[in-house]
Amino acid sequence: DVKVTQSSRYLVKRTGEKVFLECVQDMDHENMFWYRQDPGLGLRLIYFSYDVKMKEKGDIPEGYSVSREKKERFSLILESASTNQTSMYLCASSPDRYEAFFGQGTRLTVV
Amino acid sequence: DQQVKQNSPSLSVQEGRISILNCDYTNSMFDYFLWYKKYPAEGPTFLISISSIKDKNEDGRFTVFLNKSAKHLSLHIVPSQPGDSAVYFCAASPYGNKLVFGAGTILRVKS
């Protein structure tokens, strides 16, 4: 079974903090993605990576950055957390950019 | 500009009856379509997919229909069960590029 693991289920951070969300997959997939899910907006792509050290902006990259130093790990960084970044964050990996396998999600609250 | 639209935010169905979830898309480059199911506090899980060269794909109680001329797809669940209650996301991919998701439809199956 493909396993995508996100480091935290729930996080509460203060405005202005630098926040790291970690994601690890165990299936040697080339492709990894970070989405955020908000009611009425569905899943919106923040960043994705097709290979180690490579990254591309998704639809809503502002306020975020990513790091992929190893194939299995893809980190999302909130440079200076703001309240409008309160959301459910979902990491996914994919062997072929079609079917994505998701982690359990991180519910981030910025206060 | 939403390229994948799920116009019904929610749907309520009696147990044993058919559930029909709809999805419209605007990008004619989409060649692969997927449905994901999501329970609260969990990541989405893949349900069923269809390639643009087909107009129907079945998997047990789940059938996806694709009407390319109308840029419309639908997911049929027959018979519906209470455990099917979840959020259903439609997603599309243009030739193996990143997935684009709809806003989701909340399905409630009443027993």
Mean pLDDT per 10-residue segment, chain B (111 residues): 89 98 94 94 92 95 97 98 97 83 96 92
* pLDDT confidence bin for A70, thresholds 50/70/90: very high
Angle at CA of residue A54, ends A48 and A59, nearest 5°: 30
Query: What is chain B's percent helix, strand, coil content, to nearest 5?
Result: 5, 55, 45
- Closest to A45 in 3D by CA, of B8, B92, B51: B92
pLDDT above 90: residue A57 = yes
Query: Count of A–B CB contacts within 8 Å?
Result: 58
A73 touches chain B (CB under 8 A): no
Considering CB atoms only, which of B44, B96, B103 is closest to A97? B96
Interface list for B 49-78 with A (CB within 8 A)? 49
- Mean pLDDT in residue range A63-89: 97
The span from the CA of A76 to the CA of A20, in Å, is 6
pLDDT above 90: residue A72 = yes
- Mean pLDDT in residue range A84-93: 96
A1 touches chain B (CB under 8 A): no
pLDDT, tens digit, 9 for 90 and up, residues B41-66: 889 999 999 999 999 999 999 999 99
pLDDT above 80: residue A65 = yes
B98 touches chain A (CB under 8 A): yes
* pLDDT confidence bin for A99, thresholds 50/70/90: confident
The span from the CA of B28 to the CA of A36, in Å, is 25
